[in-house]
Chain A
Amino acid sequence: MSKTFPTTGSHSDLAAAQALHAAFPDATKAPAEFAGDLTLEVTDIGRETEVLQHARDALGYSLLIDRFGDDMGEDAQPRWVVRTVLYDLTNHKRLHFRVFSSALDPVFHTAMGVFRGANWYEREVYDMYGFAFEGHPDLRRILLHEDFPDFPLRKEYPMEGRGEHAAPARALGGNVDGTDGRVAVPESVRSGSDTERESLSPDEAWKRSAEMKAAKGKPSGDAPQEPTS
């Protein structure tokens, strides 16, 4: 594309990005640029914190602006991304980092050793995407309530629900991952993709939601309550 993009508010430091790439030639890719924003891709998930540490200590990227997750799409390979934005206060440059994972249950490494403020950002990534951060001392939900069954920023999570998320995953027949207490995305949510919903007419949608409600109410209503003692 020959079109030029305005580079409003972005002052990237190509030299610093290249220096980082030179320092970690087999853990990073050459920096990519779009509209003035430079992004350095870290290919070795285990050395991401090392790269960030080097950026902070040797290149002066001392201000943690942001750290957030991204989902490249259900069919994308690799699918999961954690992005970090750092700022250099002496040269006034900004640099973006991204690290991919294609694992089904991605495990990234916490950046809390480099920036203590990564704590909440990583908790938010976990909250929204369900990524684990190795070494994070307190990885639990931050914006959503503790019983929330899903990771809503994953692409398969529908934009609109019709009450099916009111109950925790256990009630929906979703499986609870016993290993670390995290809740896997239940099948009922996976199948209810947005496109499917949009194709339903309002009447059909209403009927379907009534059916879902009835189906949900049945087993719990029929099953006798177990005595507590």
Chain B
Amino acid sequence: MSDARMLDVEIAEDRHEDTIALNMGPQHPSTHGVLRLILELDGEEVCKCEPIIGYLHRGKEKVGEHHTLHQNIPYTDRMDYLAPLANNVAYAIACEKLVGIEAPPRAQAIRVICAELGRISSHLLGLGAYAMDLGAMTVFLWTFREREAIYSMMERISGARFTTSYTRIGGCARDFPEDLFPKLEKFVREFPHRVDEYEGLLTRNKIWVKRTQGVGVITVEQALQYGLTGPNLRACGVEYDLRKLHPYSGYDLYDFEVPVGTTGDCYDRYMVRVEEMRQSTRIIEQVLDSMPSGPYLNRAGDDELKSVQPEKKKVLTNMESLIHQFMVFTDSVDLPHGEVYFGHENPKGELGFFLRSEGGSKAQRMRIRGPSFASLQVLQEVVPGHMISDIMAILGSIDFVMGECDR
């Protein structure tokens, strides 16, 4: 024992002198997309970690300045492609804030279902991939079973599994299908048991606990300095959930808890996400019980609502409505002068949209504040000092998606 300690000290003395550089990624399986980490290694220990991003940059902010507000909706699908519905909702609310309208109650309730389904599916993938990177293959297969069910439902709601483009400014693209209610109810009833199953595999699993507890600790100070949001910030013990703090889409009508961690390590981030899935199920349950009737889209009737599309029936029979429909989708509406910011509690954190308009049909600036961008920046402080094998745990627990980081 003492020999080993002596040896340790000797190594410690000349550490950092003989380090090697290692490129992890951009095609490493645990980087979920194309993230590259330049690591400086002293043996198996990481001395320095520099994340390189940008491989998935598609210039969405530039595109956003050249499209009308409606034309941008499909682009939001491709940001956090693990929860496209949540992105759609975030963008639509930001646009509505700029245009100065609000979605009708039914549309808001549908959006809550969408956002929460998106949250569950995103956490399921995050959890499955996280566990698989640490060697627990079964979790991945089990979470994908439920994800498949969610994606079938998304397809029924929006017509597409991933590229949903479901929201419109002033509501949703189509009504929530009636035949989906029993299916969704069944899913919501069964899903908590599925979460128990995942927990049965992991929560007290010795290997899992050893590999995640005390690993990748992010302090509150670091989290605030780097602007972490969502589950990553809540795992540090900061209760920052926009659904609770600044309720939108009628989140104040539903009863749910905001799980927070204590230490901010990989295990806490796992626990926070697991609990969030349960809370999301609770929210969907309540929405289903209280689904308001009425229109799913603000229809253009009076002059005030010229910014939204007219009723389809009128478009087919009424000349003015046809012109109006055409104008809304080609030239859009005359936007008010102003700048708005809307932060949406996305599965990965705060997805913010900043829109600045100077009139006309297009925003002069569309800023997308992606949570993964902030989450990845903190790696350069968190990873050093860990073993190489811990990086998989840290990356998995941070649960980022490059499509939204690089935009």
Q: Does A156 contact B (CB under 8 A)?
A: no
Interface SS of chain B: helix, strand, loop or mixed? Answer: mixed
Considering the complex, give the chain B residue whose CB is closest to the CB of A39: B339
In the complex, A45→B229 CA distance in Å?
28
In the complex, A223→B265 CA distance in Å?
60
Please indicate the chain A residues that have their CB under 8 angstroms from the CB of B356 in the complex: 70
Q: Does A24 contact B (CB under 8 A)?
A: no
Q: Is A73 a contact of B364 with CB atoms below 8 Å? A: yes
Please indicate the chain B residues that have their CB under 8 angstroms from the CB of A62 in the complex: 224
Please indicate the chain B residues that have their CB under 8 angstroms from the CB of A34 in the complex: 338-340
Q: Does A164 contact B (CB under 8 A)?
A: no
Please indicate the chain A residues that have their CB under 8 angstroms from the CB of B339 in the complex: 34, 37, 39
In the complex, A154→B248 CA distance in Å?
33
In the complex, A7→B94 CA distance in Å?
10
Q: Is A117 a contact of B367 with CB atoms below 8 Å? A: no
In the complex, A120→B93 CA distance in Å?
27
Q: Is B57 a contact of A35 with CB atoms below 8 Å? A: no
From A94, A157, A194, residue with most partner B Cβ within 10 Å: A94
Please indicate the chain B residues that have their CB under 8 angstroms from the CB of A64 in the complex: 224-227
Considering the complex, give the chain B residue whose CB is closest to the CB of A142: B54
Q: Does A188 contact B (CB under 8 A)?
A: no
Q: Does B70 contact A (CB under 8 A)?
A: no
Q: Is A5 a contact of B377 with CB atoms below 8 Å? A: no
- Interface-lining segment among B16-24, B95-103, B195-203: B95-103
In the complex, A8→B341 CA distance in Å?
9
Q: Does B306 contact A (CB under 8 A)?
A: no
Q: Does B245 contact A (CB under 8 A)?
A: yes
Docked complex: B55-87 residues within 8 A CB-CB of A: 57, 59, 61-63, 65-66
Checking A35, A73, A159 against B340 with a beta-carbon cut-off of 8 angstroms, the contacting residue is A35
Contact A66-B369, Cβ < 8 Å, known A85-B352, A153-B62:
yes
Considering the complex, give the chain A residue whose CB is closest to the CB of B52: A142
Q: Is B54 a contact of A10 with CB atoms below 8 Å? A: no
Q: Is A9 a contact of B62 with CB atoms below 8 Å? A: no
In the complex, A7→B343 CA distance in Å?
12
- The tally of residues in A whose CB lies under 8 Å from a CB in B reads 47
Q: Does A44 contact B (CB under 8 A)?
A: no
Checking A6, A11, A92 against B101 with a beta-carbon cut-off of 8 angstroms, the contacting residue is A6
In the complex, A115→B229 CA distance in Å?
15
Q: Is A5 a contact of B97 with CB atoms below 8 Å? A: yes
From B227, B245, B350, residue with most partner A Cβ within 10 Å: B227
Q: Does A21 contact B (CB under 8 A)?
A: no
Q: Is A35 a contact of B63 with CB atoms below 8 Å? A: no
Considering the complex, give the chain A residue whose CB is closest to the CB of B378: A117
Q: Does A119 contact B (CB under 8 A)?
A: yes
Q: Does B112 contact A (CB under 8 A)?
A: no
Checking B54, B246, B248 against A92 with a beta-carbon cut-off of 8 angstroms, the contacting residue is B246
In the complex, A73→B365 CA distance in Å?
10
Q: Is B343 a contact of A9 with CB atoms below 8 Å? A: yes
Considering the complex, give the chain B residue whose CB is closest to the CB of A152: B62
In the complex, A92→B59 CA distance in Å?
32
Q: Is B54 a contact of A143 with CB atoms below 8 Å? A: yes
Interface residues in chain A, defined as those with a beta carbon under 8 Å from any beta carbon in chain B: 1, 3-11, 34-35, 37, 39, 62-66, 68, 70-73, 83, 85, 87, 89, 92, 94, 96, 115-117, 119-120, 128, 141-145, 152-153, 157, 159, 194
Beyond A119-B377, A157-B62, 14 extra complex contacts between A and B, CB < 8 Å = A7-B97, A8-B93, A9-B248, A9-B344, A11-B245, A34-B340, A73-B358, A85-B352, A85-B369, A94-B343, A115-B227, A117-B378, A120-B373, A143-B53
24 A-B Cβ contacts within 8 A? A3-B336, A5-B336, A5-B340, A7-B97, A8-B248, A8-B342, A34-B340, A35-B98, A37-B340, A65-B343, A66-B352, A71-B365, A83-B354, A89-B238, A96-B341, A116-B225, A116-B226, A142-B54, A143-B54, A143-B407, A145-B54, A152-B59, A153-B62, A159-B65
Interface residues in chain B, defined as those with a beta carbon under 8 Å from any beta carbon in chain A: 53-54, 57, 59, 61-63, 65-66, 93, 96-98, 100-102, 224-227, 229, 238, 240, 242, 245-246, 248, 304, 336, 338-344, 350, 352, 354, 356, 358, 364-365, 367, 369, 373-374, 377-378, 381, 406-407
